[in-house]
Amino acid sequence: MSSENKPKLVIVLGPTAVGKSRLGIEVARRIGAEIVNADSLQVYKYLDIGTAKPNEADREGIPHHLVDIVNPDEEYNAGIYTKTARPLIAELHRKSAKIIVVGGTYLYVRVLLHGIVEKIPADREIRHQLRRLKSVFGIVYLYEKLKSLDPDSAYRIHRNDYVRIERALEAYYLTGEKMSQLQEKHGFKENEYDVLKIGLSAEREVLRKRIDERVNKMMEEGLPDEVKKLRRMGFGRDLKPMQSIGYKQMNQYLDGEITLERALELIKRDTKRLAKRQMTWLRQDKDIHWYQLPEDRDRLMKEVETFYGVES
């Protein structure tokens, strides 16, 4: 496929709380684009405050896709995302729509562009949960779990080889596909998109302050009440999205395990740690064009307009 015929994608990346959603909406309004979500938590219905999901007023007039598409107890992962996003982008391209992908989850962007390949990035949260299960139930429990999910991999892995058992389970929970299947894949042969990656960054102390302000705002907007409502609807604390930052700590607070003040401290701490890890991953992507706002706004907008051939 020639570059002229490839769908053009502007992809907005950056650490949490840096302002990706706000920028995506601003760019979309300026050039008349539609937004495709690439945040693994904003796909869930009812998780609004804790995911910093743009509200209806912010989204007004800007089509947003892949937001609020599954219930919190439904399975969703990178494998499902790419099967959903790629046909959607093809349809938007057929309509000659300009497309802005706003990426809170770098893995989703990688899978969208390059397919699911054998080298799946590590996920610390999944590994932590697997190791907790190992400490409680033993390695045999995890091996039997692997046998039920991916018997081909289990057949090739010794029941005492915890490292490989963990890796195979991690790959499955991240992508929704068996490691034995992933090993047979090599990604998409050709990049099917013409891509401009926009990265938003901020000085360390500036970002830390924004994170504190965002978490305080979440509390003011009613994060504890949002989690109470989710629980009343039957969405328990063991669900994957309810284990994410913000929801996990609110559940601990509501169950009397920690104080509200401590929950607030933990949310801020864990969000800052997440932002640091995100920047480590993103800095390895040499295709990202980095900007800081507000000082680089005009230069950023000019690059997007040039990419899409839009006159300012």
Rounded to an integer, what is the distance from CA 253 to the centroid of its chain?
A: 25
Asked if CATH classification 3.40.50.300 holds for the domain at 8-115+187-308, the reply, yes or no, is yes
Separation of alpha carbons 237 and 244, rounded Å: 10
- The whole-number pLDDT of residue 152 equals 85
Range list for CATH 3.40.50.300 in the chain = 8-115+187-308
**HEC profile of 262-303:** HHHHHHHHHHHHHHHHHHHHHCCCCCEEEEECCCCHHHHHHH
- The whole-number pLDDT of residue 156 equals 77
Mean pLDDT over all residues of the chain? 92
Check pLDDT > 60 for residue 117.
no
CATH number, span 124-182: 1.10.20.140
pLDDT digits (tens, 9 = 90+) for 156-210: 788 888 888 998 898 888 888 887 677 665 445 457 899 999 999 999 999 999 9
At 152, which amino acid appears? D
- Specify the 3-state DSSP secondary structure of 224: helix
pLDDT digits (tens, 9 = 90+) for 22-80: 999 999 999 999 999 999 999 999 999 999 999 999 999 999 999 999 999 999 998 89
Residue (of 198, 193, 194) closest to 302 by Cα position: 198
Check pLDDT > 50 for residue 218.
yes
User: Model pTM?
Assistant: 0.79
Q: How many CB atoms lie within 10 A of CB 55?
A: 11
Range list for CATH 1.10.20.140 in the chain = 124-182
Residue 57 to residues 40, 61, 62, 226: CA-CA distances in angstroms?
22, 9, 10, 19
